[in-house]
């Protein structure tokens, strides 16, 4: 297996994705930024989600109870506000495997950039796993946006669960597209691999598994990879918007030679284990005459 740089990548097929994963974003910095006060962070996030209450006594670890997003638990008669947490700034260094480093598609010098960043501010939420996934996404994006306002020297945003690395300006640009597309742009990585000694390619998304939903996978040949990745993101966006409505065995619109989605082209889908680590459930799309590999009927 390789990537566009012709590096041979070995994968660990024993690595299985957890059923749910903490949504976390790491804002990365070259120089250590001045810590934002809890009050400044609170003002920034309240502009996006309404009333929050800082329940932490530690100014370096503010935790905001978010009134807009409340989780329901079986052993609690009352709804519990989700907690939006911030940590840092603190020292940052990370050892990424070759597979992850090969998939920084949204930043031209991603590998070098992440190496030069020495400090990070992290944001995540506690109890958010009990929310509907769209609410999780909304809150996650709001936490990132609030952090960017308070830490304007941020050089990049890294999302560990998907290996997605983007620039702050890419995040700001995505706000115009709504929750689904902005969440995907920020937190869901489209990965691309070639199969050694063949013309076959694999593309998949990595990210939806974080809230227990299926990622999307294409195993194909003969399709322009640029068309394939746009199609992959379109299907991922449709799945997110439609409550992951595609049922096992459904057919969906495919693309023509120009990359346009066409209703007269129908491709069959099925849910299966992913071909690329971490092993998780994906919606595999059988690209008809362009399909590669074998599939169970």
* Distance in angstroms (rounded) separating the CA atoms of residues 121 and 28: 7
Quote the pLDDT of residue 274.
94
79 and 69 together in one domain: yes
pTM greater than 0.85: yes
260 and 162 together in one domain: no
* Sign of the four-CA dihedral 62, 67, 69, 73: positive
For residue 151, the 8-state DSSP code is: -
Report helix, strand or coil for 230. helix
Report helix, strand or coil for 87. strand
Contacts of 70 (CB under 8 A, 6+ apart): 79, 80, 81, 82
Q: Find the mean pLDDT for residues 219-243.
A: 95
Quote the pLDDT of residue 22.
84
* Domain housing 215: 189-290
Lowest mean pLDDT among 54-58, 75-79, 111-115: 75-79
Domain stops at, among 157, 187, 217 = 187
Q: How sure is the predictor about 1, in pLDDT bands with cuts at 50, 70 and 90?
A: very low
Let me know if residue 53 belongs to a domain. yes
127 and 141 together in one domain: yes
* Distance in angstroms (rounded) separating the CA atoms of residues 125 and 134: 14
- Alpha-carbon distance values, 189 to 47, 92, 208, 229 (Å): 28, 22, 10, 10
Q: Find the mean pLDDT for residues 32-43.
A: 97
Look at residues 207, 188, 109, 113 and name the one whose alpha carbon lies nearest to residue 154. Answer: 113
Residue-wise pLDDT tens digits, 175-207: 999 999 999 999 999 999 998 777 899 999 999
């Amino acid at each position: 297996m390789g990537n566009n740089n012709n590096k041979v990548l070995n994968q660990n097929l024993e690595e299985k994705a957890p059923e749910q994963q903490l949504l976390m974003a790491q804002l990365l910095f070259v120089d250590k930024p001045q810590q934002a006060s809890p009050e400044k962070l609170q003002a920034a996030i309240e502009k996006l989600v309404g009333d929050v209450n800082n329940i932490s006594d530690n100014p370096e670890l503010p935790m905001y109870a978010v009134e807009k997003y409340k989780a329901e638990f079986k052993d609690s008669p009352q709804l519990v506000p989700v907690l939006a947490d911030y940590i840092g700034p603190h020292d940052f260094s990370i050892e990424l495997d070759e597979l992850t480093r090969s998939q920084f598609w949204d930043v031209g010098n991603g590998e070098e950039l992440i190496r030069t960043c020495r400090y990070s501010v992290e944001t995540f939420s506690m109890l958010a796993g009990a929310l509907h996934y769209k609410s999780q996404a909304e809150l996650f994006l709001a936490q990132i946006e609030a952090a960017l306002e308070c830490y304007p020297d941020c050089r990049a945003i890294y999302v560990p669960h998907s290996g997605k690395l983007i620039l702050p300006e890419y995040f700001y640009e995505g706000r115009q597209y709504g929750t689904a597309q902005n969440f995907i742009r920020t937190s869901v990585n489209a990965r691309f691999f070639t199969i050694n000694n063949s013309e076959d390619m694999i593309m998949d998304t990595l990210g939806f598994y974080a809230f227990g939903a299926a990622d999307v996978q294409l195993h194909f040949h003969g399709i322009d990879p640029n068309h394939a990745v746009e199609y992959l993101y379109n299907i991922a966006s449709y799945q997110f918007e439609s409550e992951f409505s595609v049922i096992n065995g459904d057919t969906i619109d495919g693309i023509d030679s120009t990359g346009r989605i066409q209703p007269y082209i129908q491709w069959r889908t099925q849910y299966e284990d992913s071909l690329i680590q971490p092993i998780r459930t994906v919606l595999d799309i059988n690209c008809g005459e362009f399909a590669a590999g074998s599939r169970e009927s």
